[in-house]
Structure 1
Amino acid sequence: MISLKNIVKKYDGKAVLKDLSVDFPDNETTVILGPSGSGKSTLLRSLDLLVRPESGTLSFSDLKLDYAEPVSKKLSFDIRKKTSMVFQNWNLFPNLTVLKNITTAPETVLGQPKKETEEKARQLLAQVGLKGYADRFPSQLSGGQQQRVSICRALAMDPDYILLDEPTSALDPELETQVLLILEELSKMDQAMVIVTHNMEFARSVADKIVFVEDGNIIFDGTPDEFFNHPTTRIKDFLSGITFSDDNSQK
């Protein structure tokens, strides 16, 4: 389990995470929801040190980090080795083939042999419906295909947790569905994931736990059933606003 305690993060003197504490269970999918600017992505990126809070602690298996203290390269490496991040815009290396995009990190960071990494990469590509795409370059793929490759790249590192920051926000609805179906399958396989998303139906279908963040505070931490079927007044207003926006976008 990943456990954050008393996390404070400021930008230009303004607190975006306010003494926040939350746990992310093993082998479960935690979905982080909330309005724009609430601190969702900052919270997610704190888990693999892409964002460094001013204070608070992170505990992860046998590792513990105090954000207020200097972090050794070894501790930073050990924490990042347990997580893999999937970004909004996939961030593939344009000059490398799909196969090399997936195998480079396991070979250089984990020291795995080339034959092993390539075999696993091809298995992962087949798993996400991209068998036969290994020798293509990112520019030859659609956005949805590139995002599936980035998911393969994350899985190739054998992470304890995959962290996904609005993984489908740059995709049109059809391509979004393709990627969400892959993530839904991963959740059924008990791959631990922490996902920031705007898609409520996806959140309802994959989440084991929902964390609702607003103004740097956690105002809900519980089950999808509680969140969607027994919402507080504030959450009901949030869900109504999301539904109204989605309905209007389709008119």
Structure 2
Amino acid sequence: MISAKHINKQYEGKTVLDDISVDFPDGKTTVILGPSGSGKSTLLRSLDMLVRPESGTVSFPDLEIDYSKPISKKDSFNLRRKTSMVFQNWNLFPNLTVLDNITTAPITVLKRSKSDTELLTKQLLKEVGLEGLEDRYPSQLSGGQQQRISICRALAMHPEYILLDEPTSALDPELETQVLRILEKLCEQGQSMVIVTHNMEFARLVSDKIVFIEDGKKLYDGATKDFFCHPTQRIEDFLSGISLNEEKDSIK
């Protein structure tokens, strides 16, 4: 389990995360929701130090990071070995093939053998429906294919948790569905995940737990069913607003 306690983060004097404490259960999928600018991506990125809060702790059973104190390179490395991030804009290396994009980090960072890593990569590509694309470059792939490659790259690092920051927001609906099916399969396999998403139907379908943030404050932390079936007035307003925006998009 990842346990984040009393996380505080400011940007240019503005409080982005205000004393937030959240547990992210092992083997489960937690979805972080909230309006634009609420702090949800900042919270996600603080879990692997892509963002460093001013104070608070992030801990695993065998590791604790106190953001208010100096952090050793060893602790920083160990934290990042436990998590792997998937971004909304893929962040693949354009000069590397699909195979090299996935295998470079496990070989150089985890010191895994090249042959074993390449075998694993081919298995992962087969699982996400991209078998035979090992020698292609990112520019030769669709957005949906590139995002699936990003997920394979994350899985190849054998992380305890995969962190996903709006993984389908840059995709059209058809490509979004392809990626969501992969994530749904990972949920069924018990992969621990923390996801920031705008897709309410996906959140309802795959999450075990919802965390709702607004203005840097945690307004909900609990079961998915209760979030959608017994919402507070603020959450009901948020869900209504999301539904209205989706209807507008479908008309365009």
Q: CA deviation at 1:58?
A: 1.0
Distance in 2 of aligned mates of 1:65 and 1:91: 26
4+ residue runs over 6 A deviation: none
Task: Look up the equivalent residue of 1:99 and give its one-letter code.
Answer: L
Q: TM-score, normalised by structure 2?
A: 0.99
Distance in 2 of aligned mates of 1:56 and 1:98: 38
Task: Look up the equivalent residue of 1:207 and give its one-letter code.
Answer: S
Q: Deviations over 1:204-226 (max 9, x none)?
A: 00000000000101100011110
Q: Deviations over 1:102-134 (max 9, x none)?
A: 000000000000000000000000000000011
| Residue number in structure 2 paired with 1:77 | 77
Q: How does 1:187-206 map to 2 (within 5 A)?
A: 187-206=187-206
Q: CA deviation at 1:37?
A: 0.2
Count of paired positions: 251
Q: Deviations over 1:13-48 (max 9, x none)?
A: 111000110000000000000000000000000000
| 1:21 matched to 2:39 | no
* Partner SS, residue 169 of structure 2: coil
| Residue number in structure 1 paired with 2:147 | 147
Distance in 1 of aligned mates of 2:93 and 2:172: 22
Distance in 2 of aligned mates of 1:224 and 1:43: 19
| Residue number in structure 2 paired with 1:49 | 49
Q: How does 1:1-251 map to 2 (within 5 A)?
A: 1-251=1-251
Distance in 1 of aligned mates of 2:192 and 2:39: 21
Root-mean-square deviation (CA, aligned residues, Å) is 0.4
Task: Look up the equivalent residue of 2:32 and give its one-letter code.
Answer: I
Distance in 1 of aligned mates of 2:225 and 2:64: 32
In the alignment, structure 2 segments of 5+ residues that lack a partner are none
Q: CA deviation at 1:187?
A: 0.3
In percent, how many aligned pairs have the same letter? 71
Task: Look up the equivalent residue of 2:45 and give its one-letter code.
Answer: R
Distance in 1 of aligned mates of 2:121 and 2:110: 15
* Partner SS, residue 18 of structure 1: strand
Distance in 2 of aligned mates of 1:164 and 1:248: 26
Distance in 1 of aligned mates of 2:119 and 2:37: 41
